[in-house]
């Protein structure tokens, strides 16, 4: 199963991982256009800080995911083969109930109202790392200039 | 949020009490904004981010050792440093030009000012071939015009101000390095051209150019500011006055003068004396009339001259970080600000919330929506009158008033002349005291305050305390003076915290162990004091048991001043680390190699005790070399 | 091994799935009294308001039983557990033998004793049957009254308001969501609902439900009358513990289980709304009708039934994520403090406009939280509560913008550690 690894000592807080994530998950695949879209772009990887020391906080696609247990729509699932935990792409649809946000101990799931405001869905959606299913290497890993992030096969 | 969090440092009383008030009023202060910016980008912090051209923006990273044009970390760091030095230099020069214009206008009879220090004017003018035996107005006009001319002059001829005024030993060193500058604005123009994409990759040349600007910063900037201001306002005289937030009077119309240029402030002080205005204020409900206060460097300058204004000047309040908090007292009726150091939130968030009427008094300092009463030498009285009127009108609009009862006394007004006077007319007593060890050495603790590494003066205050306990005389300027004043280190009480040898010297002279030279522009005067001592001793500035520190430097004038200090051969402590660490080479040049070239260097230390250790070690080394 | 599970909702279905993952060969039977495949009760409101179809409610998909090789028995009410013979019996005398039994019978809405409670047009808001009945009534209904401003009551109010009905909510406490939120938070949510046109009446109860055949109005305790075509009753839940009590299994507020979710009978386990738990945030024993608890309990009981010991020890009673209209809110743990307990607890809060965040601390550990308006990183705070982490070192930073899991990255919260250098 693929997981992200983090060497936070190398992180300079430049946030290129966040920008790459936003770009990858936007319609135009461009951070700039995503920022100009009128909705606040949401990242699924976070460069938080401890005082002023940058620390990347990532979704770990847990083996026993709390978000999956908390999901009352049944849409948050862990793929038995790839191990990726995501609420998108399943028969059950996310209804924006925010139970997963309440359950994730790392705080890496965020509420997004954009899709409702854009009229594309009845429901707001919970947004989380999906390990970039359309890429060989996740966008954040590629975007990092200091080799902080990597993919490990566990 | 706990503002101690970021470095877990104790916080000064003004900030502690007013921060609570501002937060209860739901105001976001500089502390919230700083927290929001975390983590700040490491590339920017290390100086290896370049945004000059569209092939960028570039960062030097593990993956990319060069920017797209080919620039390395060394070059990017140096270019970035040059921009800051350039900005700081022209900022000081802008101020100097304002004073020179005023001096010239006085000479032409078109100003609300007069010459207060005739002899000083005659002396300085005569150095430049302006005959001293003429009416003072003519000399004022000519010298003012000459100075402006020097500011505008080209950079392929050495500046007369430098070649005439600089100490011979320094000139020789500078000539050797080829760094005697021409006109400051031209130097900056050339420097900026050099630092464009694809022009210059000689890092040493760029750094030497910074030193050129540093020298120009002193003679075409700081020196001009202080000398010509003194000519127009009188020289600083030691005097005692109140400091800190508690000086504000809820029953008075309170006018705070904020910025760096004291000329208008002097007129405001004179106008506040006018019985008509005092009466109007009382009629408006302010039973104690009108009171004037100082904030930031302007306050320090007024404080220096306050012996003549005790009836209207009621104290120096605080430093740069505290400007929003001062407004949150709800007791500031007018904040008149000039160039520079005003936060955008003053007009965009704080004044609207707390009733304060803002007035900008220099063309360069405009904030949208703020009334502009811009200084012209012959409009000063008119502007001062308008300020009185605005303040009285604003007094009626006060909401809740919160003035913490935090007040100290401090003694200010020190400068080369007044120190020499206090010593009996020459620097010899000072030299003797240094020689016999009762003064181990002199440390200049100068410059800004920053939220970055410390909190509103903590490094400054801790460092000053350490130094005086080790018998090192401290000279303060700029926001550092404010921090020390608000921590009661510039009063005679501070003698209790002074080392055994230094204490009696201070007691006998009736001066505190930390002497305020005034504003950050008075760093130029500190350098002149160092020069004076060096010349008396027959040595060069780097040989003196003196050391400088900008323990919480923040902005670009400080960078220019840093190059000035290094150019004069001073060892300068800096905190936080300037954005050069991304280039180990440039770091090494600035902290080691440059010393052998020019006598001065920079060192970085974030812990106040270790800073004091390093500064003391430097002083002791110099003492040893002098045989003391 | 024969596993029998009574109940096919959160706890029951999850237990079935986990059992199959742990044990490929044994027989697993799930028996549901309802005629529907396992559906998410929590999605009922979105079904009633039209945003979801019935198909969307199946949180385990339509083919759950087939996928996991489970014998799914629907529309079958179990009326007796014979612990000696180790079998359960349905109303129609069907028998199911078990080696290990899981009672996951859930809870049902409490029925208040009010005259007129049996009239037509009076509904609970609990099951898919309730929902279908309410939807049928919509064509003729214009006005609805909801009894109870708890979670379920407000969900129903929101759903009915979205369908264009004029809705009035009656609550006997002095605030909405009296079990979950404090006054400040409840006021923010209340304003949000009111902006949708929902009327909220506090400090009142319903004395009479009036009407001949169908409900026509309700009379409140202050004697005023409110006309309505639909009355939703949402005044609390009662765990369905009768089955257990009748066969001699210990129960108090709910079925009593140990930390391995075993009842007083070692072959009988219980999970979900029907059990009572030790709430670690308040120290009290309560029943907690929450989806998340039920799923976890179902999961843990499956492990224990399959012979793998897994201790269930982090139960929290109050845990809710809500967003009725525009303002999200998350409440977790001990969110209410009685006046007499005030000095034992340390409360930190920030409040600006519609954003309100409150933390309740005890002995340096967070034991309760309410976040309204800005729910980012809530789960990190709930983890601090669940794991009883000492946060006294950071007390003054806890609600800062930049406080996050990064401060605790040494704590893996029992999952894979991406920072662990051993991986490299």
The predicted pLDDT at position A41 comes to: 79
What's the number of CA atoms in the CB half-sphere (13 Å) around residue A139?
A: 23
The predicted pLDDT at position C339 comes to: 83
The predicted pLDDT at position C364 comes to: 94
CB contact at 8 A, C349 and C179: no
Can you give the residue ranges of every domain in chain C? 2-107+240-305, 122-233, 337-408
pLDDT band at B4 (very low <50, low <70, confident <90, very high): low
pLDDT exceeds 90 at position B385: yes
pLDDT band at A33 (very low <50, low <70, confident <90, very high): confident
pLDDT exceeds 70 at position C87: yes
The predicted pLDDT at position C424 comes to: 57
pLDDT exceeds 80 at position C8: yes
CATH code assigned at A99: 3.30.70.20
Region C324-332 average pLDDT: 93
CA–CA separation, B26 and C350 (whole Å): 10
Please report residues of A whose CB lies closer than 8 A to that of C378. 98, 101-102, 107
Asked whether the domain spanning C122-233 has the same topology as the one spanning C2-107+240-305, the reply is yes
Bigger pLDDT: C190 or B1? Answer: C190
Residues A124 and A139 in one domain: no
pLDDT exceeds 90 at position C12: yes
Residues A8 and A53 in one domain: yes
pLDDT band at A114 (very low <50, low <70, confident <90, very high): confident
Of A103, A106, A111, the CB nearest to C405: A106
Residue A78's domain comprises 65-128
Determine, for residues C295 and A69 on separate chains, whether the beta-carbon distance falls below 8 Å: yes
- Find, among C63, C65, C72, C2, the residue nearest to C30 by Cα: C72
The predicted pLDDT at position C363 comes to: 93
Residues A69 and A98 in one domain: yes
The predicted pLDDT at position B9 comes to: 58
Q: Which of residues 182-241 of C touch B (CB under 8 A)?
A: none
pLDDT band at B566 (very low <50, low <70, confident <90, very high): very high
pLDDT mean across residues, chain C:
94
Region C50-67 average pLDDT: 93
What's the number of CA atoms in the CB half-sphere (13 Å) around residue B558?
A: 27
- Find, among A150, A141, A153, the residue nearest to A20 by Cα: A141
CA–CA separation, B309 and B529 (whole Å): 26
Beta bridge partners, C78, equal C90
Residue ranges of E strands in C228-281: 230-233, 237-239, 255-256, 268-270, 275-278
A34 touches chain C (CB under 8 A): no
CA quadruple C395, C399, C402, C407: dihedral sign: positive
Determine, for residues A72 and C414 on separate chains, whether the beta-carbon distance falls below 8 Å: no
ipTM of the complex: 0.96
pLDDT exceeds 60 at position B7: no
DSSP per residue, B526-586? HHHHHHHHHHHHTS-GGGSSEEEEETT--SHHHHHHHHHHHHTT-EEEESS--TTTT-HHH
The predicted pLDDT at position B603 comes to: 97
Q: Which of C400, C404, C409 to mutate to test the interface with B (most CBs of B within 10 A)?
A: C400
Determine, for residues C415 and A63 on separate chains, whether the beta-carbon distance falls below 8 Å: yes
Determine, for residues A52 and B63 on separate chains, whether the beta-carbon distance falls below 8 Å: no
pLDDT tens per residue, range B328-374: 999 999 999 998 889 999 999 999 999 999 999 999 999 988 999 99
pLDDT band at B567 (very low <50, low <70, confident <90, very high): very high
C352 touches chain B (CB under 8 A): yes
- Find, among B552, B415, B577, the residue nearest to B479 by Cα: B552
pLDDT band at B3 (very low <50, low <70, confident <90, very high): low
pLDDT tens per residue, range B506-560: 999 999 999 999 999 999 999 999 999 999 999 999 999 999 999 999 999 999 9
Region B86-90 average pLDDT: 97
Region B604-622 average pLDDT: 95
CA–CA separation, B552 and B563 (whole Å): 16
pTM: 0.81
- Return the active site residues of C: 42
For the domain C122-233, what is the CATH superfamily, name and number? FAD/NAD(P)-binding domain (3.50.50.60)
A144 touches chain C (CB under 8 A): no
Residues A26 and A77 in one domain: no
Residues A42 and A69 in one domain: no
pLDDT tens per residue, range B390-424: 999 999 999 999 999 999 999 999 999 988 888 88
pLDDT band at B38 (very low <50, low <70, confident <90, very high): confident
- Find, among C231, C221, C225, C237, the residue nearest to C119 by Cα: C231
Q: Give chain A's domain count.
A: 2
CATH 3.40.50.410 fits C2-107+240-305, yes or no: no
Residues A72 and A21 in one domain: no
pLDDT tens per residue, range C143-165: 999 999 999 999 999 999 999 99
């Amino acid at each position: 199963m693929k997981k992200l690894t983090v060497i936070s000592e190398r992180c300079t807080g430049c946030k290129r991982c966040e920008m790459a994530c936003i770009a990858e998950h936007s319609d135009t695949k461009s951070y700039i256009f995503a920022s100009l879209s009128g909705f606040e772009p949401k990242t699924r990887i976070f460069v938080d800080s401890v005082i002023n020391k940058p620390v990347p906080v990532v979704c770990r696609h847990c083996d026993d995911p709390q978000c999956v247990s908390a999901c009352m729509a049944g849409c948050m699932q862990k793929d038995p083969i790839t191990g990726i935990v995501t609420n998108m792409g399943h028969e059950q649809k996310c209804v924006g109930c925010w139970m997963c946000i309440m359950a994730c101990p790392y705080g890496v799931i965020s509420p997004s109202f954009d899709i409702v405001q854009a009229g594309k869905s009845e429901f707001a959606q919970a947004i989380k790392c999906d390990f970039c299913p359309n890429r060989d290497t996740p966008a954040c890993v590629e975007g990092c200039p200091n080799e902080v992030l990597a993919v490990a096969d566990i | 949020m706990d503002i101690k969090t970021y470095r877990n440092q104790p916080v000064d009383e003004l900030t502690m009490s007013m921060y609570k008030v501002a937060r209860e009023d739901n105001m976001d202060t500089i502390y919230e904004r700083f927290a929001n910016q975390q983590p700040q980008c490491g590339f920017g912090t290390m100086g290896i981010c370049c945004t000059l051209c569209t092939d960028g923006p570039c960062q030097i990273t593990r993956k990319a050792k060069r920017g797209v044009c080919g620039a390395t970390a060394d070059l990017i760091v140096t270019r970035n440093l040059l921009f800051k030095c350039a900005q700081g230099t022209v900022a000081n020069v802008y101020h100097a030009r304002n004073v020179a214009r005023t001096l010239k206008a006085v000479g032409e009879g078109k100003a609300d000012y007069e010459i207060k220090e005739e002899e000083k004017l005659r002396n300085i003018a005569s150095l430049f071939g302006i005959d001293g035996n003429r009416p003072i107005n003519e000399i004022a006009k000519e010298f003012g015009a000459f100075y402006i001319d020097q500011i505008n002059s080209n950079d392929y001829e050495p500046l007369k101000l430098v070649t005439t005024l600089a100490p011979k030993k320094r000139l020789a060193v500078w000539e050797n390095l080829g760094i005697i500058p021409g006109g400051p604005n031209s130097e900056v123009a050339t420097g900026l051209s050099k630092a464009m994409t694809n022009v210059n990759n000689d890092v040493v040349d760029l750094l030497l150019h910074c030193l050129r600007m540093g020298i120009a910063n002193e003679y075409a900037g700081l020196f001009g500011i202080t000398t010509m201001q003194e000519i127009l306002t009188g020289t600083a005289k030691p005097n005692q006055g109140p400091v800190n937030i508690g000086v504000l009077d809820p029953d008075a119309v309170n006018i705070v003068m904020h910025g760096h240029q004291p000329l208008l402030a002097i007129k405001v002080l004179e106008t506040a004396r006018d019985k008509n205005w005092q009466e109007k204020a009382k009629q408006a409900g302010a039973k104690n009339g009108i009171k004037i206060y100082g904030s930031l460097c302007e306050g320090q300058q007024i404080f220096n001259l306050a012996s003549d204004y005790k009836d209207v000047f009621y104290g120096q309040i605080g430093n740069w970080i505290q400007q929003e908090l001062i407004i949150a007292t709800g007791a500031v009726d007018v904040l008149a600000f000039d160039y520079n150091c005003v936060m955008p939130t003053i007009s965009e968030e704080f004044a609207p919330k707390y009733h304060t009427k803002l007035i900008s008094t220099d063309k360069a300092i405009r904030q949208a929506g703020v009334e502009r009463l811009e200084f012209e030498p012959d409009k000063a009285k008119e502007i001062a009158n308008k300020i009185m009127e605005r303040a009285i009108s604003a007094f009626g609009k006060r909401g809740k008033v919160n003035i913490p009862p935090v007040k100290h006394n401090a003694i200010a007004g020190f400068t080369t002349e007044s120190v020499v006077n206090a010593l009996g007319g020459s620097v010899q007593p000072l030299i003797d005291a240094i020689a016999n060890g009762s003064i181990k050495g002199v440390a200049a603790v100068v410059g800004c305050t920053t939220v970055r590494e410390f909190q509103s003066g903590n490094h400054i205050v801790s460092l000053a305390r350490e130094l005086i306990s080790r018998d090192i005389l401290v000279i303060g300027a700029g926001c550092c003076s404010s921090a020390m004043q608000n921590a009661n280190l510039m009063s005679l009480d501070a003698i209790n915290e002074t080392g055994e040898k230094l204490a009696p010297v201070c007691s006998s002279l009736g001066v505190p162990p930390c002497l305020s030279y005034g504003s950050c522009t008075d760093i130029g005067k500190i350098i002149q004091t160092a020069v004076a001592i060096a010349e008396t001793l027959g040595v060069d500035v780097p040989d003196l048991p003196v050391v400088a520190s900008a323990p919480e430097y923040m902005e670009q004038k400080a960078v220019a001043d840093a190059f000035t200090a290094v150019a004069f051969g001073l060892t300068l402590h800096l905190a936080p680390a300037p954005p050069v660490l991304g280039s180990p080479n440039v770091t090494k040049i600035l902290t080691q190699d440059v010393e052998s070239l020019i006598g001065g260097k920079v060192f970085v230390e974030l812990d106040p005790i270790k800073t004091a250790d390093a500064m003391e070690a430097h002083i002791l080394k110099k003492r040893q070399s002098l045989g003391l | 091994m024969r596993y029998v599970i009574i109940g096919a909702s959160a706890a029951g279905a999850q237990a079935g799935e986990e059992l199959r993952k742990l044990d490929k060969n044994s027989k697993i039977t799930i028996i549901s009294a309802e005629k529907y495949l396992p559906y998410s009760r929590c999605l009922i409101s979105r079904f009633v308001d039209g945003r979801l179809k019935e198909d969307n409610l199946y949180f385990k998909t339509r083919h759950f039983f087939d996928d996991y090789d489970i014998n799914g028995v629907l529309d079958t009410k179990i009326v007796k557990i014979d612990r000696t013979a180790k079998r359960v019996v349905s109303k129609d005398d069907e028998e199911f033998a078990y080696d290990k039994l899981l009672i996951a019978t859930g809870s049902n809405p409490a029925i208040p004793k009010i005259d007129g409670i049996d009239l037509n047009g009076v509904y609970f808001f609990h099951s898919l049957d309730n929902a279908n009945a309410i939807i049928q009534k919509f064509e003729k209904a214009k006005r609805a009254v909801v009894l109870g401003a708890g979670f379920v009551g407000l969900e129903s109010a929101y759903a009915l308001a979205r369908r264009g009905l004029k809705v009035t909510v009656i609550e006997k406490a002095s605030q909405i969501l009296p079990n979950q939120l404090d006054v400040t938070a409840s006021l923010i949510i209340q304003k949000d609902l009111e902006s949708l046109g929902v009327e909220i009446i506090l400090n009142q109860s319903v004395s009479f439900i009036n009407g001949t055949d169908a409900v026509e109005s309700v009379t409140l305790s202050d004697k005023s009358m409110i006309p309505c075509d639909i009355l939703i009753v949402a005044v609390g839940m009662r765990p369905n513990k009768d089955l257990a009590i009748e066969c001699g299994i210990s129960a108090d507020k709910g079925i009593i289980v140990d930390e391995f979710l075993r009842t007083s009978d070692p072959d009988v386990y219980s999970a979900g709304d029907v059990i009572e738990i030790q709430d670690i945030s308040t120290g009290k024993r309560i029943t907690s009708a929450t989806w998340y608890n039920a799923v976890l309990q179902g999961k843990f009981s499956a492990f224990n039934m399959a012979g793998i010991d897994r201790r269930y020890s982090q139960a929290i009673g109050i845990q809710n994520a809500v967003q009725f209209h525009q303002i999200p809110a998350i409440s977790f743990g001990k969110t209410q403090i009685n006046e007499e307990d005030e000095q034992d607890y340390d409360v930190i809060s920030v409040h600006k406009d519609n954003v309100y965040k409150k933390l309740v601390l005890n002995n340096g550990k967070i034991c309760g939280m309410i976040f309204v308006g800005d729910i980012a990183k809530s789960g990190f705070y709930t983890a601090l509560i669940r794991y009883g982490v000492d946060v006294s070192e950071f007390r003054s930073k806890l609600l800062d913008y930049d406080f996050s899991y990064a401060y605790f990255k040494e704590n893996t919260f029992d999952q894979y550690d991406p920072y662990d250098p051993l991986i490299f």
